[in-house]
């Protein structure tokens, strides 16, 4: 038993090492949000300042871009999770005609190079005379994230025992009731994982968005454009706030979870 | 009604994919067989030689992409599986917190992450500069602009996409089952191989699908972290499309890439027997 | 599908909108669009019909306008024209990729002025008839204040379609911590003693120009044979392991940190690093350097062309150009700015004074006559030539 405990402890440490590794560039980003830079380039350390926090919203287009990104990511995540979970259920639980082709579609959406997806969506919108704005960005984001939700949810469903649902139905539960009381709770980890993946995919997308955005600018778009002259530290501060709020949510969750037990 | 259920469940995504993916793809397929140039116009000539020409010119980059994508996927599997395992079985009430922390760095723009990596991994920077100062590394040691950097970058950027699906299928496994298995089989390794691993295969399959495919098509890591001989097929498609306005070649390359990936995933699924796992569970 | 469909059928497809057929039309409908050079009368007629609308939409790169947008606000006060300023351009290639299908379909981009670098994409804009010919009778400030160099553009003779917004120079940057000689020649980029420490640019036009300079070829007059020679020269440089990487914008970090010791570089970037105290020097090589320009143009179908012209011209007032250049810190097309900045530096105090003096004295913002004499444009290319030119250099940079 002792060996097992030691193994678990090592894995615990290992998990934290991976988390730290993944976050290490974030540390640099946070640091340079405090850099008292003397020119447009914000790449070498020149002293500490809180100035950029005070001037956080001074670049109005950047502020708008961040807001756009957050709204677009939230909306497209909700749509993606709902329709992706539905398809995941269909593929993981049911047999139906066209299943093979649907599997193929799901695969195709993941394997389409971003540039090709963006360019072909744009020509679709142009030929349909659809104006490009936040709506077309959301359409595109749902398109490239939905497969990730489908695949994640399906990976969960195929490990579940369908007999539980059958039992619920035999006991007289309605289809919707069975779904809400039995199916949904058991697939929830997959749904949540899919939601987090699609949020990350949306808020960080550059290539596809750059084709279908019209004149709506998102956070990554603005940053890529600013690379030419130097990214202002406000960008780092905004990244820091996104990260910081995320960490607070995580801590809040952890504390709440501890209370519950 | 029950017969209709799967169709109703599939319908919204199906419509979305059909309208916004299949229709443009059909157009792209047509473009891939045209000849001409952007200024004088393109004409449909059913020029299948677009494919053989593109493959002849860029076969190296395509093969290289598959190798890099494959290496990165193996690395992600090796690095990610233990993390998913630990969170699923020992994460307790904080499972979702750990997952969230793993994904959080990817909520800020890749541009910022990249700039930071370039800062951290610079030849004489905070990491290697210090090690070189201590004499632990030769003076001309570098990671940036090498194959290692590209594969490492791919591994870094797609790792959560490997961990999450594996976690999702492992989390389902009752820890008591493992304890029982450990009692049953002599060693922990045997218990893992006979019980845990098979149960996690759907997650592994999903993870590999979600990482190998986008990693192979990725242009960004090679562009930022690579040297003079690390160009991947994603970079070529980008150049052909955006710089050369050679839409037929770009389309032909994209289709070739997708076809190769599809075959690869199919072969892999067969080898793993995942298809059977999926089918059996779906019954 | 080179035959345009009859009008009525096309409308049916447009109504069908999302139908596969509608899209196939769009896909095949990349018909010949080569624009005939506009007849002088047609241009005159076009402008005679346009009137001032009191608004203008300006699409630009981020960080290309002071954050308080003062120059635009003053323009609004002076002319009564209200403006919308949008930082929507991130990359020339992607911007063109996005604009092409829209303009091809005869729709409007929704912008009255866009800013693009002279290069492949701008050439395509002009060749495809996506740029509105300018009415120079409405650009008196440009005529009076733009430097002579900025009126002789190989890519747009006579400024028929474009006027410069800001310029920069491609030369060599080197890190003085690692390079202890004075770099003056492009030969140094080919010197085996800097093996693995040289950065080159991945852009075909940029790298092509430098290889031609070192071979003694004037890119503005170069031929296909010259390009091939240049390609061979670059291939040898790569195969000898001299080049570390073919860079995009990220070269500047690499040279400032010493990952590469010397590299092809853009003047504006190096100037920013010098202000930040980083050990980088910039030189226009003796063999020649490249001058590139970000240009304003009025895209086809713009709603407010007259207002756009007025704004373009307004930016050529020396006082306005000074304000812009003080923020952008690249090379301004208005030479009078240097004196105005010098004047401003004289009356300024403290930190501002130092910054202004740095700008006035910097050959990176105000190249000398000797520098200008060495500067060339990108190689001018027709579409046919481009299909030869690009692969020669891409086969080097994208192996």
Q: What tens digit of pLDDT does each residue of C250-307 get? A: 899 899 999 999 999 999 889 888 888 899 999 999 999 999 999 999 999 999 999 9
Residue A176 contacts B, CB cutoff 8 Å: no
CA distance C395 to C397: 6
Between A124, A129, A211, which is nearest C98 by CB?
A211
* E strand or H helix that includes residue C264: strand C262-266
Query: What are the average pLDDT values for consecutive 10-residue runs of chain B, which has 283 residues?
Result: 83 93 90 88 90 94 96 97 94 87 90 88 90 90 94 95 93 81 78 85 91 92 92 94 89 93 83 53 36
Three-state DSSP at C297 gives strand
The more confident residue out of A140 and B196 is A140
Region of A98 on the Ramachandran plot (φ > 0 left; ψ -120 to 50 alpha; else beta): left
3-state helix, strand, coil in chain B (%, to 5): 75, 5, 20
Q: What is the mean pLDDT of chain A?
A: 89
Could you tell me if C34 lies within 8 Å of chain B, comparing CB atoms?
Answer: yes
CA distance C31 to chain A (A): 14
| Residue A191 forms contact with B (CB below 8 Å) | no
pLDDT recorded at residue C325: 93
User: What percent of chain C shows pLDDT beyond 90?
Assistant: 67
Residue of C nearest to A116 (CA): C97
What single string gives the DSSP state of each residue in B219-274? -HHHHHH--TT---HHHHHHIIIIIS--HHHHHHHHHHHHHHHHHHHHHHHHHHTH
End-to-end CA distance of chain C: 35
- According to DSSP, the residues that pair with C56 across neighbouring strands are C83
C-alpha torsion sign, points B242, B245, B251, B252 = negative
- Output phi, psi for A4, to 5 deg: -65, -45
Closest CA to A116 of C378, C210, C213, B249: B249
CB-CB neighbors (< 8 A) of B19 in chain C = 18
Chain C residues touching residue A227 (CB < 8 angstroms): 249
The model's pLDDT over C319-344, given as tens digits with 9 standing for 90+, comes to: 999 999 999 989 999 999 999 999 99
Per-residue pLDDT, averaged over A45-52, amounts to 91
CA dihedral C18→C21→C22→C27, nearest 10 degrees, is 120
Alpha-carbon distance of A239 to A139, in angstroms, equals 25
The full DSSP string for B18-47 is: IIIIIHHHHHHHHHTTEEEETTTEEEE---
pLDDT in tens, C374-397: 999 999 888 889 889 999 999 999
Residue B164 to residues A83, A152, A252, B209, B210, Cα–Cα distance (Å): 19, 8, 21, 12, 10
Which of A23, A147, A155, A251 best probes binding to B when mutated, by most B CB atoms within 10 angstroms?
A155
**Which chains touch C (3+ CB pairs under 8 A)?**
A, B
Q: Tell me the Cα Rg of chain A.
A: 22
pLDDT at position A3, please?
53
pLDDT value of position C23 = 41
Does the CB of C249 have a partner CB in chain A at under 8 Å?
Answer: yes
Contact A127 C22 (CB under 8 A): yes
State how far the Cα of C356 lies from the Cα of B227, in Å rounded to an integer. Answer: 39
What percent of chain A shows pLDDT beyond 90? 54
Q: List the single best residue of B18, B228, B230, B234 to mutate versus C (max C Cβ within 10 A).
A: B228
| Sequence-ordered list of residues with C-beta below 8 angstroms from that of C185, at least 6 positions apart, any chain | C214, C285, C286, C287
What's the rounded Cα separation, in Å, for the pair C338 and C97? 37
Question: Is some CB atom of chain A closer than 8 A to the CB atom of C25?
Answer: yes
What does the pLDDT read at residue A112?
A: 87
Task: With a cut of 80, say whether residue A173 has pLDDT above it.
Answer: yes
Neighbouring C-beta atoms of residue B65, cutoff 10 Å: 26
Distance CA B86, CA B210 (A): 21
B68 touches chain A (CB under 8 A): no
The verdict on a CB contact (< 8 Å) between C28 and B61 is no
Q: How far is CA C3 from the centre of its chain?
A: 35
Whole-number Å distance between alpha carbons of B83 and B161: 12
Nearest-CA neighbor of C98 among A121, B31, B16, B39? A121
Taking residues A166-188, what's their average pLDDT?
A: 87
Q: Which two tokens stand for residue A209?
A: 């968005």
Please answer yes or no on whether A120 and B85 come within 8 Å at the CB atom: no
pLDDT of C25 > 60? The answer is no
Residue C18 scores a pLDDT above 70: no
Contact at CB, A122 and C272, closer than 8 angstroms: no
3-class DSSP state of A119: helix
**Chain B from 167 to 206: CB within 8 A of any C CB:** none
For B104, the closest of A155, A160, A243 (CB atoms) is: A243
- Rounded Cα–Cα distance for residues A207 and C90 (Å): 11
C13 or A231: which leads in pLDDT: A231
Residue-level pLDDT at A4: 58
| Overall average pLDDT of the A44-66 stretch | 91
- DSSP state, residue C378: P
Helices A233-260 + A219-226 axis angle, to 10: 150
Give percent helix, percent strand, percent coil of chain A, each to the nearest 5: 75, 0, 25
CB–CB contact A92 B205 (8 Å) = no
Residue B30 token pair: 């047509």
Concatenated DSSP letters for A64-79? HHHHHHHHHHHHHHHH
Chain A contacts in chain C segment 274-293 (CB below 8 A): 274-278
Report the percent of chain C where pLDDT is more than 70: 90
Quote the pLDDT of residue A165: 83
Strands C243-247 and C198-201: parallel
Which of 140-169 (B) contact A at CB < 8 A?
156, 159-161, 164-165, 167-169
Residue from B169, B200, C358, B142 nearest A40 by CA: C358
Helix A184-203 / helix A60-93 crossing angle, nearest 10 deg: 140
Q: Is A230 an interface residue toward C (CB < 8 Å)? A: yes
pLDDT at C16 over 50: no
The reported pLDDT for the residue numbered A261 is 59
- Is residue A17 less than 8 Å (CB to CB) from chain B? no
Asked whether the predicted pLDDT for residue C15 surpasses 70, the reply is no
> From the CA of B135, how many Å to the nearest CA of chain A?
24
Of B5, B20, B82, the CB nearest to A94: B5
- CB < 8 Å from B in window 179-208 of C: 196, 204
Check A230 against C63: CB less than 8 A apart. yes
Q: Per the CB < 8 Å rule, is A41 touching C276? A: yes
Count of other CB atoms within 10 angstroms of residue C369: 7
B277 touches A: beta carbon within 8 Å: yes
Work out the minimum CA distance from C117 to partner chain B, whole angstroms: 13
- For B102, the closest chain A residue by CA position comes to A19
Q: Which chains touch A (3 or more CB pairs under 8 A)?
A: B, C
Size of interface A-C (CB pairs under 8 A): 120
Q: Could you tell me the sign of the dihedral formed by the alpha carbons of C236, C239, C242, C248, in that order?
A: positive
DSSP state of B145: T
In this predicted structure, what is the pLDDT of residue C149?
84
| Minimal Cβ distance to B168: which of A14, A95, A156 | A156
Q: Is the pLDDT assigned to residue A252 strictly greater than 70? A: yes
Element (H, E) at C226: helix C224-239
Q: Min CA distance, A225 vs chain C (Å)?
A: 4
The chain C residue lying nearest B141, using CA atoms, is: C259
Does C176 score more than 90 pLDDT?
yes
Q: How high is the pLDDT of residue C142?
A: 97
**Residue C13 clears pLDDT 80, i.e. is over it:** no
Asked if residue A255 has pLDDT above 70, the reply is: yes
Minimum-distance CB partner of A12 among B24, B86, B111: B86
Q: Which of A194-203, A227-236, B1-10 has the highest mean pLDDT?
A: A194-203
At C170 the three-state DSSP class reads strand
C321 Cα to chain A: minimum distance (Å): 18
């Amino acid at each position: 038993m002792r060996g097992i405990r030691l193994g678990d402890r090592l894995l615990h440490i290992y998990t934290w090492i991976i988390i730290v590794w993944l976050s290490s560039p974030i540390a640099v980003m946070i640091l340079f949000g405090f850099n008292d830079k003397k020119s447009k380039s914000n790449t070498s350390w020149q002293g500490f300042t809180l100035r950029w926090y005070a001037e956080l919203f001074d670049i109005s287009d950047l502020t708008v871009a961040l807001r756009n990104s957050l709204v677009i990511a939230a909306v497209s995540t909700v749509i993606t999770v709902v329709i992706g979970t539905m398809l995941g259920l269909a593929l993981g639980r049911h047999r139906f005609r066209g299943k093979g082709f649907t599997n193929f579609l799901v695969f195709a959406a993941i394997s389409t190079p971003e540039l090709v997806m963006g360019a072909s969506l744009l020509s679709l919108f142009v030929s349909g005379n659809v104006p490009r704005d936040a709506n077309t960005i959301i359409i595109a984001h749902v398109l490239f994230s939905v497969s990730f939700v489908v695949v994640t949810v399906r990976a969960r469903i195929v490990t579940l025992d369908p007999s539980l649902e059958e039992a619920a139905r035999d006991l007289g539960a309605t289809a919707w009731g069975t779904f809400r009381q039995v199916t949904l709770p058991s697939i929830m980890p997959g749904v949540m994982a899919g939601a987090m993946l699609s949020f990350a995919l949306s808020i960080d997308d550059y290539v596809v968005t750059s084709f279908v955005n019209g004149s709506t600018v998102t956070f990554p778009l603005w940053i890529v454009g600013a690379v030419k002259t130097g990214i202002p530290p406000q960008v780092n501060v905004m990244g820091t706030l996104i990260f910081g709020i995320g960490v607070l949510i995580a801590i809040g969750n952890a504390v709440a979870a501890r209370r519950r037990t | 009604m029950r017969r209709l259920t799967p169709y109703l469940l599939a319908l919204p995504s199906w419509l979305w994919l059909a309208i916004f993916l299949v229709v443009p793809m059909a157009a792209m397929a047509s473009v891939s067989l045209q000849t001409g140039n952007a200024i004088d116009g393109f004409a449909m000539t059913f020029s299948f030689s677009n494919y053989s020409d593109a493959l002849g010119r860029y076969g190296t980059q395509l093969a290289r992409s598959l190798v890099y994508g494959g290496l990165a996927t193996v690395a992600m599997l090796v690095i990610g599986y233990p993390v998913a395992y630990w969170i699923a079985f020992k994460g307790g009430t904080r499972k979702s917190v750990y997952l969230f922390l793993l994904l959080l760095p990817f909520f800020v723009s890749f541009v910022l992450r990249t700039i930071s990596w370039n800062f951290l991994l610079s030849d004489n920077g905070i990491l290697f500069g210090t090690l070189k100062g201590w004499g632990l590394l030769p003076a001309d040691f570098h990671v940036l602009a090498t194959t290692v950097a590209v594969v490492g970058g791919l591994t870094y950027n797609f790792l959560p996409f490997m961990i999450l699906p594996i976690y999702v299928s492992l989390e389902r496994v009752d820890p008591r089952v493992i304890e029982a298995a450990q009692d049953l089989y002599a060693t922990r390794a045997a218990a893992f191989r006979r019980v845990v691993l098979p149960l996690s295969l759907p997650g592994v399959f999903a993870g590999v699908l979600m990482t190998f495919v986008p990693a192979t098509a990725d242009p960004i890591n090679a562009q930022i972290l690579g040297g003079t001989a690390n160009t991947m097929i994603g970079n070529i498609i980008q150049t052909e499309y955006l710089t050369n306005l050679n839409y037929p070649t770009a389309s032909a390359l994209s289709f070739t890439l997708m076809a190769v990936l599809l075959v690869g995933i199919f072969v892999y699924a067969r080898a793993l027997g995942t298809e059977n796992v999926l089918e059996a569970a779906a019954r | 599908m080179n035959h345009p469909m009859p009008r009525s059928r096309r409308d049916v497809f447009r109504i069908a909108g999302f139908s596969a057929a509608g899209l196939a039309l769009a896909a095949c409908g990349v018909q010949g669009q080569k624009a005939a050079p506009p007849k002088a009368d047609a241009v005159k007629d076009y402008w005679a019909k346009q009137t001032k609308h009191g608004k203008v939409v300006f699409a630009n790169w981020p960080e290309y306008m002071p954050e308080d947008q003062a120059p635009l606000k003053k323009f609004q006060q002076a002319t009564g024209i209200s403006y919308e300023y949008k930082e929507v351009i991130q990359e020339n290639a992607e911007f063109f990729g996005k604009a092409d299908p829209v303009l091809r379909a005869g729709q409007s981009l929704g912008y009255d002025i866009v800013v693009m670098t002279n290069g492949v994409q701008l050439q395509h804009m002009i060749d495809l008839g996506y740029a509105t010919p300018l009415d120079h009778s409405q650009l008196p400030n440009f005529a009076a204040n733009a430097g002579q160099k900025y009126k002789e553009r190989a890519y747009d003779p006579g400024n028929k379609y474009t006027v410069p917004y800001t310029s920069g120079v491609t030369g060599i940057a080197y890190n003085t911590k690692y390079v202890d000689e004075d770099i003056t020649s492009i030969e140094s980029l080919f010197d085996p003693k800097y093996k693995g420490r040289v950065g080159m640019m991945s852009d075909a036009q940029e790298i092509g120009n430098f290889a031609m300079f070192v071979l003694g070829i004037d890119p503005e007059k170069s031929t296909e044979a010259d390009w091939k020679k240049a390609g061979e020269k670059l291939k040898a440089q790569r195969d000898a392991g001299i080049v570390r990487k073919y860079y995009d914008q990220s070269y500047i970090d690499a040279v400032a940190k010493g990952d590469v010791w010397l590299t092809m570089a853009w003047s504006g970037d190096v100037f920013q690093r010098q202000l930040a105290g980083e050990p980088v020097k910039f030189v226009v090589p003796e063999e020649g350097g490249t001058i590139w320009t970000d240009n304003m143009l009025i895209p086809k179908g713009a709603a407010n062309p007259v207002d756009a012209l007025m704004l373009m011209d307004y930016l050529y007032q020396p006082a306005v150009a000074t304000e812009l250049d003080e923020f952008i810190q690249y090379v301004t097309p208005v030479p009078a700015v240097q004196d105005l900045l010098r004047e401003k530096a004289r009356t300024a105090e403290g930190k501002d004074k130092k910054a202004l003096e740095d700008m006035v004295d910097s050959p990176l913002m105000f190249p000398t006559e000797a520098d200008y004499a060495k500067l060339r444009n990108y190689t001018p290319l027709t579409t046919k030539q481009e299909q030869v030119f690009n692969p020669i250099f891409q086969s080097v940079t994208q192996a």
